[in-house]
Amino acid sequence: MAENSYKFRITLKNKLGLHARPASIFVETTKKFKSKISLIRNGKAVDAKSIIGVLSLGVSQGDEIEVICEGEGAKEASETLKNLIERLGEFQ
């Protein structure tokens, strides 16, 4: 993994999963960062800045996902996204 690369795994607790509104909030947040951000579920990786990509993963409550942030602002992106995912239930 590159020096300017951060990743984390997290289990989604949001009862609606990463669908519609929560996915939209997640994607809009990723677009605030210059870093390349990938979202992975069950070995399938997508561009986390793509709403179609994120929705195509079909992330449900209890699924473990991995987020990889690379490049400029990767550490801040990683910290922000981890915090957001932990709070997704608030946006239902």
- pLDDT single digits (tens) 32-65: 999 999 999 999 999 999 999 999 999 999 999 9
Sign of torsion, CA 51 56 61 65? negative
Q: Which of 14 and 52 is assigned the larger pLDDT?
A: 52
- Segments in the chain forming alpha helices (H): 20-30, 51-56, 74-86
Contacts of residue 53, defined as CB under 8 A and 6 or more positions apart, other chains included, come to 39, 46, 47
pLDDT at 92 over 80: no
List, in order of start, the domains of the chain with CATH numbers.
Answer: 5-91 (3.30.1340.10)
Residues classed as catalytic = 19
> What is the model's pLDDT at position 3?
66
> What is the model's pLDDT at position 90?
65
Model confidence, pTM: 0.91
> What is the model's pLDDT at position 2?
56
